[in-house]
Amino acid sequence: MNPLKSGTLDLALLAALQEQPRYGLDILKHVNGRSAGLFDLREGSLYPALHRLVRAGWIESDWEPSDRGGAPRKVYRLTDEGARALAAKREEWQTLRGALDALLLGRLSA
């Protein structure tokens, strides 16, 4: 099961980059690890999404030397605009979650 749709994927990627700058495979491991593998994010979805977020101005990238002495890696980081987008998406998610809790559980969530 891969419930990561475009809007949800954007939210997950922005949240992963809020904590610290990361290179592509580190982002993939972080998202999959935090979701206990539920999202099953793959490179074929990750890199197009990262490019879309760069074009939107929500993240930026730079080449940095590998900490293991290998080839340089492209490291992604959240921009100020991306931080604002993350805050808005987080608020939308909490509103949606509250509405679904009300429907599914018969009560409003806290």
- pLDDT tens figures, 76-102: 999 999 999 999 999 998 998 889 888
* pLDDT band at residue 38 under the 50/70/90 scheme: confident
Three state DSSP letters for the chain: CCCCCHHHHHHHHHHHHHHCCEEHHHHHHHHHHHCCCCCCCCHHHHHHHHHHHHHHCCEEEEEECCCCCCCCEEEEEECHHHHHHHHHHHHHHHHHHHHHHHHHHCCCCC
Q: How would residue 5 be classed by pLDDT, with cut points 50, 70 and 90?
A: low
CATH 1.10.10.10 given to domain 6-105: yes
- Higher pLDDT: 82 or 8? It is 82
Of 18 and 8, more confident: 18
Domain chopping of the chain, boundaries? 6-105
pLDDT confidence bin for 1, thresholds 50/70/90: very low
